[in-house]
Structure 1
Amino acid sequence: MPSTQLTRGIAATTSPVVGPGRLNSLLDRILCLLEKVSDEAFWNSLFGDRVLNLLKRYFGSDVVFLGFIVYLAPIMGYQLHSLFYYLVNYIKERMYVSIQIGKNETGYDAIQQFVATKTAHIRDLRDVEGRCIHDDNDDNDMQRPSPPPKLHLYPLDEIEHKITYKHHTLWVTKKKNGGVGNNNENYYSNNIKDLLGMMNSNPCIQITMRGQDMGLLKGFIQEWIDTHFEKEYGKLTIFKCVPTRYEGFEWRTVGSKELRSFESVILKEGQKEHILKDIQTFRRREHWYSIRGIPYRRGYLLYGPPGTGKTSLVQSVASKVNMNVAIISLSGNMDDENFNVLLQEVPRNSILVMEDIDHCVIKDPNSDNDTSNAKISMSGLLNALDGVVAQEGSMVFMTCNDVNRLQPALLRPGRIDMKMELGYADKTQINKMFWRFMGEDDIEPSNGDDTDAEDAEKSKSKMIYSQELQDLAQKFTDMIPDLKVTPAELQNFFIMNMMDHEDFDLDEDKKKPVDYTYLLDAVPVFLETVARDREQALEHNASRNQKPTPSANTTNDDTKIVNTSSNDTKTVVEDATLVKSDPPKKI
């Protein structure tokens, strides 16, 4: 190790000096030098008689001598202090290496998690930070009481912790204001609290190791980060824009979810495959965009009634292409400046999601009747989406219920490149929803070691089970009207009715499937509930909207909005890159 080599080198150079003969010779030389310096003849030969007499005249006075000492003492003390710390830092640089990780770095939390696992084993531990965290354990029985949170220990600020990793001693310090660069150099704010708080805060973690091998320390920290991300791999990370302490905003990880299966989202034929293919093509053509001078950005708009799978589609697509989700809201104290900065700092490899964009209050500077308290303007929103400083490689998903409430400027190509309507469920969706809850994959395989004969018998029983449900599936599909219910309503129908019959799904004695005709009996009540919900929604909209809404078929220079009625069985998917003469794509 470098430290061992350094210690051996020092010992080798100082070993000849420790002999008694050399030590006596060194002391004799020092005494001779002091005797010579104290002799007046030495100073007379050095400065001469005239200079020596002047020095005796002035420095012979106690007042002048003390004044001279008082004047020079602070200067000499400061210089000695600087020299001392210079030597200390010089020795540390030769004996230690250190790396500082800023709080804004993605590996900051990973290092904190690793240090927390080591903190409990530190001897002579005195001051640490305690956090109560619920451990994620899939084996917990949801019917039992929730287990209490476990106490995890984290390093406090400005306190050095000593840990051992792979037979190397490391010192970890969590600093409030480290030497790493921050993002506040170009920061501007008209709020004095925000400005002072951001300028005086630059937290980081410093890891120090004895030796001169910076690559070894870097490798250790990279192992901690890799271990942390291996645990998180296979999950969908959710980022959300949240307010900070000083009235600003920042991206924060709010949790992780299991990957949403792409097959679990049931839409009309070809819809999800079309949007997935477009995303995969876009991610492969960065060079194609670059050489043609086209901004490398892509925008999508999903519109339709609530419960038609807009948010679920975004989650499943993100899981399919191994990306995360970053959610931002335009309500509250969000203004143009913060929104612009946040879009430039969207977490890496994330899909930006702006939900219910038609319900967000946006200031319209061209309207004289705009009396809203909105802080974000339409011009600020448009410039952030496709302006000069917009992030390259970004993918933005917007969702809304009524596309007619959006301003046409927001829908033009470059901001929204593809529009897709997710409407009420058609017959194909209804049939797929039935098999999603009642299909063969609903039967869990046995954990025992069965023979081939038993496996064949089970496969045969599954085929019989599936065949018996064919007639029931067709009857259920015929009873649900086309384009009248949403997939979310169908999902709730199956969950509520199957939970009521959960103990009767399989006969434990005879191992035969239970008759599921109770689902058909529950369909009339379900349709009545849906009809009442529709009437209530219409009454609510009629009471809120005093004036009629604009026509659905409106055109402008950039975008054509197509309104699909509830009686239309076709779903329209518009590609905004088409010219006006091209018909919209239909799937």
Structure 2
Amino acid sequence: MPPLPLASLGLSEQTPLSPNDSNATSNATLNPIPDSPQTGIFANITSNPLFSAGFGLLGVGAGLSLLKKGTNAAASYTRRRLLVTLEIPSKDKSYAWFLQWMAQQAPKRQVQHLAVETSFKQHDNGSVTTKFGLVPGPGNHYFKWKGIWMKVERQRDGKMMDLSTGSPWETITVTTLSRDRGVFTHLLEEAQSMALKKQEGKTVIYTSYGPEWRPFGMPRRRRLLDSVILDNGITERIVKDVRAFIGSGKWYNERGIPYRRGYLLHGPPGSGKSSFIQALAGELEYNICILNLSERGLTDDRLNHLLSNVPERSIMLLEDIDAAFTKRSQSDNQGYQSMITFSGLLNALDGVASAEERIIFLTTNHLDKLDPALIRPGRVDLKEYLGNATPHQLRGMFLRFYGDRPDLADAFVARLDGKTVSTASLQGHFVYYKDDPLEAIEKADELLRQ
């Protein structure tokens, strides 16, 4: 039998085979064993540069994803631990305080986005009173207050609206880089203190805005009581009665009597009815809430709500009530320009749901046009007539403007004795001739022509 080739045995020709060495085969050089099909495919894939690049991108993406999640987790943790947020809705009373506080910070805090708040009122005589106020507008505002950085975001929701006022719903969100939540309390207290400080020594005039009361313009300097000269004894009677009412809450409660008081001032136009109420509010350190019963859109429910939610230490004033209602037969169903009814007004004044601790003043130029049910005791407890200027008022107003000149005051009274002159015209006359009392006396006949 011929010998087998060495190659068939997997041996190299370069390796001698010793017949005497039984382990000779162990020293032989063996050829490598071919790869299996699976091993070859894996090697080819892993050695492919496209695979290496894709695997690298996959690794980078996974790393970025983990980094993003870690960053978000860290940011969330930071927000929970370091950032505190306060939300102030527009329905909250501190909303206006905060906006005014921010407006005061504008020069220092560089509030660049401003919005205008316009107060507009048209009076019965056709004149218009307009007040403009600048407050931070919608958007983001950044500033530093007492060493703490703050972000103020004023958002206006275009989809949500206050149906009673027609204004969009707004929210102020304040975010601070501080764990001390008490900083918000201090901030709001400062805003409140700033708002109240503006009212010191002044009278705030409120007007209805939907179902709530809002200040009309800036607070006004309190008017002195003796600046309004009424006829003998009228001022003293009203002031005494109001002060007695204010200090008798316990007495009313112990006897089960509704704790409210109504006053009616009636007389010709220009007799000082509104001026006296403003001076009385200044004397008592009260504010004034003015409600026009002829306001379009005013309903019984809204009237009752407004009269039941008068701000504290405020006088409720219903001016020219005769313009809204004359006789019950004409007003049972609907008011002249509003939707309130006569019965709705009566219920708001002294019904079951009417408010306690309330002082209300009604004014009218025509007492005879008012229904007796409207001014009966319980609704109106004290009536006072304020007419044209009497000799007592002529003299008192002259001395008020020109100082202690009794001789000239007597001469002025003599010129107008028995004549009909309103106190409003008289005041205008004195203002025009404020520097010359002699000319005021000489031109007294101008008052009669007016």
Q: TM-score with structure 2 length normalisation?
A: 0.71
Partner of 1:154: 136
* 1:427 alignment partner, one of 391, 395, 420: 391
- Matched residues in 2 for 1:167 and 1:113: separation? 21
Structure 1 residue 95 corresponds to structure 2 residue 82: yes
Structure of higher CA gyration radius: 2
Runs of 5+ consecutive residues of structure 1 not aligned to the other structure:
1-80, 135-148, 185-192, 243-247, 440-465, 506-515, 531-587
Structure 1 residue 271 corresponds to structure 2 residue 234: yes
- Matched residues in 2 for 1:314 and 1:493: separation? 22
* 2:341 alignment partner, one of 368, 372, 377: 377
- Matched residues in 2 for 1:365 and 1:280: separation? 37
Structure 1 residue 471 corresponds to structure 2 residue 407: yes
Partner of 2:255: 292
Structure 1 residue 519 corresponds to structure 2 residue 436: no
- Matched residues in 2 for 1:224 and 1:303: separation? 41
- Matched residues in 2 for 1:265 and 1:171: separation? 50
- Matched residues in 2 for 1:92 and 1:119: separation? 27
- Matched residues in 1 for 2:105 and 2:398: separation? 50
The alpha carbon displacement at 1:101 in A equals 2.7
Maintained 8 Å contact 1:364/1:370: no
Deviations 1:432-480 (A, max 9, x none): 11111111xxxxxxxxxxxxxxxxxxxxxxxxxx4xx332222222222
Amino acid at match of 2:264: L
- Return closer, same or farther for 1:363/1:95 CA change in 2, 3 Å cut-off: farther
The alpha carbon displacement at 1:312 in A equals 0.6
The alpha carbon displacement at 1:520 in A equals 3.3
Partner of 2:315: 351
Structure (1 or 2) with the greater helix fraction: 1
SS in 2 for 1:392: coil
The alpha carbon displacement at 1:225 in A equals 1.9
- Matched residues in 2 for 1:370 and 1:152: separation? 39
Partner of 1:194: 163
- Matched residues in 2 for 1:131 and 1:121: separation? 19
- Matched residues in 1 for 2:339 and 2:135: separation? 41
Runs of 5+ consecutive residues of structure 2 not aligned to the other structure:
1-68, 120-130
Deviations 1:127-174 (A, max 9, x none): 72354999xxxxxxxxxxxxxx99956141xx4432211111222222
The alpha carbon displacement at 1:490 in A equals 1.8
Partner of 1:261: 224
- Return closer, same or farther for 1:382/1:165 CA change in 2, 3 Å cut-off: same
Structure 1 residue 114 corresponds to structure 2 residue 76: no
Partner of 1:214: 181
Structure (1 or 2) with the greater strand fraction: 2
Q: Report matched runs for 1:230-245 at 5 Å.
A: 230-242=197-209
The alpha carbon displacement at 1:387 in A equals 1.5
SS in 2 for 1:411: coil
- Matched residues in 1 for 2:363 and 2:311: separation? 20
Partner of 1:143: none
Q: Report matched runs for 1:43-442 at 5 Å.
A: 92-119=79-106, 121=108, 128-131=113-116, 154-156=136-138, 159-176=139-156, 194=163, 202-242=169-209, 248=210, 250-255=212-217, 256-331=219-294, 332-361=296-325, 364=328, 375-439=339-403
The alpha carbon displacement at 1:273 in A equals 1.8
The alpha carbon displacement at 1:389 in A equals 1.8
The alpha carbon displacement at 1:335 in A equals 2.2
Q: TM-score with structure 1 length normalisation?
A: 0.56
- Matched residues in 2 for 1:382 and 1:479: separation? 46
- Matched residues in 1 for 2:74 and 2:308: separation? 44
Maintained 8 Å contact 2:207/2:214: yes
- Matched residues in 1 for 2:156 and 2:344: separation? 34
Maintained 8 Å contact 1:364/1:377: no
The alpha carbon displacement at 1:381 in A equals 0.3
- Return closer, same or farther for 1:231/1:194 CA change in 2, 3 Å cut-off: closer
SS in 1 for 2:163: helix
* 2:416 alignment partner, one of 463, 480, 493: 480
The alpha carbon displacement at 1:373 in A equals 6.3
